[in-house]
Structure 1
Amino acid sequence: MAWPALALVLIGTLTGCASGLPPGASPQVPELVQQHGGPAATQWPAPRLSPQAHSEAVASLLAQALEADTAVRLALLNSPSLQAQLAALDVSAAQRQQMALLPNPGLGLGRVREGGQTEIERLLRIDLWSLVTLPWRLQWQDRQLAQARLQTAQEVLRLSAEVRRAWVRAVAAQHATRYWLQVQEAAEAGAELGRQMVKAGNWSRLQQAREQSALQDARVQGARARLQAQASREQLIRLLGLNDGLALQLPAQLPAPPSELLPEADYEAQALRERLDVRAAQGEYQAIADSLGYTRVTGYVSAFELGLGYNTITQPGSRDSKRSVEIEVPLPLFDQGQARVARSEAQLRLAQARVREVAVLARSEARGRWQDWQSAWTVSRQLESEVLPLRRQITDETLLRYNGMLSSVWELLAEARQNALSVNAAIEARRDFWLADTDLRLALSGTANTSPASSGNLLRSNAPAASAAPTPGH
């Protein structure tokens, strides 16, 4: 039994090498996300926090008004969707590691008794094909893990961008709600003044109806703002993974846009160079191209098994033994791998088309998001630096003229309504700018705004099997 023992030692050594691969894939994701504009790796929560430590960390982040970066950190810590994504990556890593392991050798035992003669059969079957293809399968596993990390990093960046958008909308809606409440109070004062002046005979019913209409409009706008604020806040709570929003505090208003435009740059080239979906599509194409040679070879040789036998024959007064060696190779008479090669070639063309598709999408999104950023910045700066100062000046002059009895009270109220519209437009413009800023950053260094069709199926369907032929029973 020297040869079977040596074979078992060899298989155990190779299996141990394969088993030494790291089972998890998630530790590399934070660094990958940080390289593409996401939260820093130091801001990611420690893995497997205890329930008490987790609750304390969440309470610490919610102890003060939640800024955009803090909201992203809270989502990394508490979002169920992100935790599920990272857990799925570890599951995928374990599955791919299992695929790279050697199959266990088969040991067959038999006992045949005929008259006074007894024969003991022992057969050790080893899949040598798995030994030959082990390095290639390990390389394939590394490619699949790299693709899985890229896809997970894309999802993290999308979640971070979605949290920022929800935070921007929630803060802007809360600001608008407070402002429309002030407008409603002013409209109520105007309507009360109109009733008093009509009662005194100084106003007409038409003028009073206008003030009543302005009050109702302010109430409708205020109700809409409250509804929008509730919906935006609830969306943010859901993305953060909070059970309720009782402890959630938001800033009074959004930060001001930058004072200057971003410098001109080749944003299309930056998107093609840095976006994760472009890298993932290129990696998939390269992996399938590299697998064509393996697919062609396995059309002719897809299995190679070695069998080592040791039989003992015992009968009264004597004992004999014999050894045997078996080699099993399938004959490629009917299936020479034509279908597998054709499938791999079609998958290669599909991957090549996907690279072009993703590249076109990246260039288009980079151009579009940059134009949106410029337009949103221009509108916001125009409203805040030009329109609002003019409206304040007009309001002040109208108030002076009213105090000097040079204008009527309804002119003052009409000016207040116009000023309210301008302020609300400025709040919305600032909101639109920060939404455009989030979309631009995601489009340049992250991925598409919406999840693309999964491309990992091509790699999985083209993955090599540990053994292409079943082991016959003995």
Structure 2
Amino acid sequence: MMVTAIDIRVERSSAPPLKRLVTIAALTATLGGCVTFTPNGGMTPVSSAVTEAIGKDTVKIASTADAVNVQSRVKALLAKPLTADAAVQLALINNRGLQAEYNALGISEAAFVGASLPPNPVIGVERLSAGPSLEIERRVVANILALLTLPARSDIAGKQFAAARQKAIEATFRTAAEARRAYYRAVASRQTAVFLEQARVSADAAADLTRKLGETGAAKKLDQARASAFYAEVSNELAQTRLKVGTDREALTRMLGLWGADLEYKLPQQLPAMPRIQTSQQVEADAIRKRVDLIAARLELDAMAKTLGLSDATRFVSMLDGGWRGNYERSTEDGVRESSSPRGFELEIEIPIFDGGEVKVRRAREMYMQAVNRLMEKAVNVRSEARAAYLTYRGSYDIARQYQNSILPLRRTINEQALLEYNGMLIDVFELLTTARESIETNIAAISTKRDFFIAAVDFETAIIGGGSSSGDGPAATADAEGSAD
């Protein structure tokens, strides 16, 4: 027969039951902390950190009044063409995925408050009847182990709640970054489409002119075919770009959380002007100090360390319940007789015969070392990500500036000279169309490099403060994607 528990009873006690209940309640209140729910579910530190880092505010929609206020702000932001900052602000107040992250923060706060409260005492009443006899057993049980470990458990839950706040901040940064990237992609696609529409008009005019010259015998059939093919190629490229305009706009719409009548928002026709380059000599140090995911990992490691300490302290006791119990008996034999049985305490202790707690301790230690290694890995990755993001940011700036300051002006000069020489009959239609094709490719590449710079700027910011990096958003990835599409 395997023995798993011992039932210890003290049969006599002079203190009345009510007094014992008051004593247990007083002990519970003494051990309990003063942790209470915050008015906004822990959002105040999140809002402050977001405002300080990116200059935007965020709102948790927790009531009908909040929803009405948010909808009013959405209408005001959509009343005029969106800027990148307006798109970010719109996403931070209207993205429902972000609202779900704030709900997760509220759940963590509830867990923190719950861990800070002593366990509720359990009151049991048992009624046994055998013939004319009736026995009523009353029991008040309190989990003594839970009371003794209450401060440690509350401290651990507090660390986990602090980590949850950092995760909510990171989710906010990520939403802002993704909204900004989606905005730049949508505007760049629209700018490319506008340029190709103008190019198609010019190609149509050239094809029509060549066709008329062919009717008079001034243009060969080969030249007419080349002009018509050029017009068809530009038209096809415009159709592909319009498709991309639609998909990029829908990606932005999802980030902004818009639907229904709000889908008719306006975007500018071109990307904003290039800003001045940001220089930083302490990229790694800034990232290690500011990255919210690294801060959250540190807090989780602290919580894990405290959990290991709690496991060591309680390795030999997994359940210890204590409480007051009393019996009341009534018999109807030879009249009515009522009596109370002896009262006392009952303790239940699990004896560690087969598992002395080593399993729990070993598991906690391995989990702790796993968290340590994950944190060290993250610190190494954060440094590398910050360096790579800055290199991409600076390189993208130089490339985009080269297009704006040198390549595009040279292309305009080439186009003007080619047209003059064609009018002077120094070159044929083939050379003129080739020059036009090269000019179109250069202008599209200039728009793409400018978009890549703005996205690299977003990636650089998230590499410093947190919020994740976009996968496959760099210039090389963009070129690969465009090459595969061709």
TM band (smaller chain) = 0.7 to 0.9
Of the three residues 239, 255, 266, the one matched with 1:249 is 266
- Compute the displacement of 1:391 (Å): 1.9
Residue of structure 2 in register with 1:232 after alignment: 248
Question: Structure 1: how far apart are the matches of 2:121 and 2:441?
Answer: 79
Aligned partners of 1:317, 1:252: CA distance in 2, in Å? 96
Q: Counterpart of 2:289? A: 273
Superposed, which structure 2 residues align to 1:129-278 within 5 Å?
129-244=145-260, 246-259=263-276, 261-278=277-294
Partners in 1 of 2:120 and 2:381 — Cα distance? 46
SS of the counterpart of 2:343?
strand
Distance between the aligned counterparts of 1:110 and 1:405, measured in 2? 111
**Residue pairs, 1:410-421, within 5 angstroms:** 412-421=432-441
| CA distance, structure 1, for counterparts of residue 50 and residue 305 of structure 2 | 27
Identify which of 395, 401, 405 aligns with 1:375: 395
CA distance in 1, matches of 2:217, 2:132: 133
Q: Distance in 2 between matches of 1:39 and 1:46?
A: 20
| One of 44, 49, 57 as aligned partner of 2:73 | 57
Of the three residues 63, 66, 88, the one matched with 1:48 is 63
SS of 1:9's partner is helix
* Range with bigger deviation, 85-94 or 104-113: 104-113
Query: Helix, strand or coil for the counterpart of 2:142?
Result: strand
**2:119 alignment partner, SS class:** coil
Any stretches of 5+ residues in structure 2 without a counterpart?
1-15, 472-486
Separation in structure 2 between the aligned mates of residue 450 and residue 175 of structure 1, nearest angstrom: 22
Pair 1:306 & 2:331 matched = no
Contact 1:39 1:73 in 2 (8 A): no
- Identify which of 410, 424, 430 aligns with 2:450: 430
Deviates more, 1:128-137 or 1:398-407: 398-407
Q: Structure 1, residues 170-213: CA drift from partner, whole Å, max 9, x if none?
A: 00000110110000000000001111111111111122222112
Q: Name the stretch that deviates more: 271-280 or 318-327.
A: 318-327
Aligned-residue sequence identity (percent) comes to 34
Q: What SS does the corresponding residue of 2:195 show, helix, strand or coil? A: helix
Contact 1:299–1:332 (CA<8 Å) still a contact in 2? no
Q: 1:433 to 1:13 in 2, by over 3 A?
A: same
User: 2-side partners of 1:234 and 1:111: how far apart?
Assistant: 66
CA contact (8 A) 1:180 1:218 kept: yes
Q: Tell me if structure 1 keeps the 8 A contact 2:88–2:180.
A: yes
Q: Distance in 2 between matches of 1:320 and 1:411?
A: 114
Q: CA separation of 1:381/1:205 partners in 2, compared to 1, >3 Å: closer, same or farther?
A: same
Aligned residues: 448
> Are the counterparts in 1 of residues 323 and 346 from structure 2 also a CA contact under 8 Å?
yes
- 2: CA distance between counterparts of 1:293 and 1:348? 11
Amino acid across the alignment from 1:231: T
The letter of the residue matching 1:31 is S
SS in 1 for 2:344: strand
Shift in Å, 1:151: 1.8
Residues 44 and 73 in structure 1, CA contact (< 8 A), matched pair in contact too: no
Superposition CA RMSD, Å = 2.9
- 2:366 maps to 346
Distance 1:33 1:317, change over 3 A: closer
Q: 2:353: which partner in 1?
A: 333
Give the aligned partner of residue 472 of structure 1.
none
Match of 1:329, SS state, is strand
The alignment partner of 2:222 has SS state of helix
**1:128 to 2:150 alignment:** no
Secondary structure of the corresponding residue to residue 308 of structure 1: strand
**Aligned position for 1:105:** 121
Query: Would the aligned equivalents of 2:226 and 2:430 in 1 still touch at CA under 8 Å?
Result: no
**Corresponding letter in the other structure for 1:152:** A
Question: Alignment partner of 1:228: what SS?
Answer: helix
How far does residue 306 in structure 1 lie from its aligned partner after superposition?
Answer: 2.2
Name the structure 2 match of 1:396.
Answer: 416
Deviations 1:434-459 (A, max 9, x none): 111111111111143279xxxxxxxx
> How far apart in 1 are the matches of 2:128 and 2:418?
114
TM-score normalised according to structure 2 size: 0.83
Change (3 A) 1:406 1:13: same
Q: Deviations over 1:55-87 (max 9, x none)?
A: 332211100011111111111222121122212
